[in-house]
């Protein structure tokens, strides 16, 4: 059984072309939760591939950060709770 971890990938890039390239790479690894934030469920090998793919872009006008997420407690949602979160009782296979 493969072991997965969840990650938030956040980027702040000023150049439109570079930003589009980052977004295109991230769509192959996870799903967008905000304009410049993706959540990804990855194995160790997939995380290494993601890092390799992002480094290959040679971003010059900003930065990309990858944070490991811990889900030891259910998130507390403030604001509009009408829409179902993709984290609510859903299994993702990436």
Structural tokens at position 11: 């980027």
pLDDT mean over 36-58:
96
Give the pLDDT confidence score for residue 64 in this predicted structure. Answer: 95
Question: Which positions ≥6 away from 85 have C-beta within 8 Å?
Answer: 75, 77
Question: Which positions ≥6 away from 64 have C-beta within 8 Å?
Answer: 9, 10, 11, 13, 22, 54
At the topology level, CATH places domain 5-69 in Alpha-Beta Plaits (3.30.70)
Alpha-carbon distance of 44 to 63, in angstroms, equals 22
Question: What DSSP state is assigned to residue 79?
Answer: S
Condensed to tens digits (0 to 9), the pLDDT of residues 62-86 reads 999 999 987 666 666 677 665 555 5
Sorting pLDDT into bands at 50, 70 and 90, what band is 94?
A: very low
């Amino acid at each position: 059984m493969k072991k997965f971890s969840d990650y938030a990938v956040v980027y702040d890039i000023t150049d439109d072309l570079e930003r589009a390239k980052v977004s295109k790479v991230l769509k192959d690894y996870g799903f967008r939760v905000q304009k410049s934030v993706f959540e990804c469920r990855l194995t160790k090998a997939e995380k290494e591939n993601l890092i390799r793919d992002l480094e290959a872009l040679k971003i010059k006008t900003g930065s990309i950060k990858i944070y490991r997420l811990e889900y030891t407690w259910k998130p507390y949602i403030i604001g509009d709770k009408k829409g179902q979160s993709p984290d609510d009782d859903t299994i993702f296979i990436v």
